[in-house]
Amino acid sequence: MGSSVSLFIALEGLDGSGTTTQSARLAAWLRNLGHTVHTSCEPSEGPVGQLIRASLRQKPGSPDRSTLPWLFSADRADHLYRDIEPALAAGTIAITDRYAPSSLAYQSMEIPMDQVYVLNATFRVPDLVLFHELDVDVALSRIGSRGEAREIFEHRSQLARVAKHYREAMAYLDARGWPITTLDASLPIEDVTLAIQAAVTALLPTSSEA
Ligand code: TYD
């Protein structure tokens, strides 16, 4: 059944909101239903993505933070045309952990939202954006329990600002017709997974169409 469904799904949310876990669970569920699935993330594994990670960790010799709006946009072009578009053309369900809404949320803290939007305006709009909404303190405690070196965006005051900008970014994209489903990411993992499955099921062909 259903192997040639082409869908583009993006998962979004604060650091610690569970997008990586839910991407993997969504991919596994879809594969189990017989679909071909491609998973990826942003910053991507490509050369621009690596520059971005170095910059976020403020590694000596890495690009200045002021370059991030352009680097994320360049990385997105690379990710989209090298990776996602070929997958979609082959009739695959492409799931990305973060996409343009992340730029609207994070880079709008540095330059106006309209400018970030313009930098991303030519990129494909996903068929579904799954926004994991999460309280800042819950996000921070989850990040803390991972025990990884914290990146610059992962400090509380910064995270609270990101949360505000995320809500604004989602309203901005919603007003421009982006298909956004908001999830309560403070719920247990399994409940969030079920909510995601319900949203994605609505986009899958019914067995009579497949
Ligand atoms: P993250 O998803 O945390 O990657 P990893 O788990 O590999 O470290 O992304 C790293 C940071 O990049 C995160 O704080 C969000 C930020 N980011 C932006 O600022 N703009 C963007 O467009 C994207 C995709 C991510």
Domain borders along the chain are 7-201
- With a 6 Å cutoff on the Cβ, whether 160 touches ligand 1 is no
- With a 6 Å cutoff on the Cβ, whether 153 touches ligand 1 is yes
User: How far apart are the C-alpha atoms of 139 and 159, rounded to whole Å?
Assistant: 8
Tell me: the pLDDT tens digits for 116-133?
999 999 999 999 999 999
Is the pTM for the entire model greater than 0.85?
A: yes
- Homologous superfamily of the 7-201 domain (CATH): P-loop containing nucleotide triphosphate hydrolases (3.40.50.300)
At residue 63, the pLDDT reads 95
User: How far apart are the C-alpha atoms of 165 and 83, rounded to whole Å?
Assistant: 28
* Ligand 1 atom closest to Cα of residue 43: 24
- With a 6 Å cutoff on the Cβ, whether 72 touches ligand 1 is yes
- With a 6 Å cutoff on the Cβ, whether 166 touches ligand 1 is no
- With a 6 Å cutoff on the Cβ, whether 117 touches ligand 1 is no
Dist. CA 144 → ligand 1 center (Å): 16
At residue 139, the pLDDT reads 83
pLDDT greater than 90 at residue 27: yes
Give the whole-number percent of the chain exceeding pLDDT 90: 81
At residue 148, the pLDDT reads 66
The pLDDT of 68-87, averaged and rounded, is 98
Of 26-40, 41-55, 175-189, 195-209, the least confident: 195-209
Q: What is the mean pLDDT of the chain?
A: 93
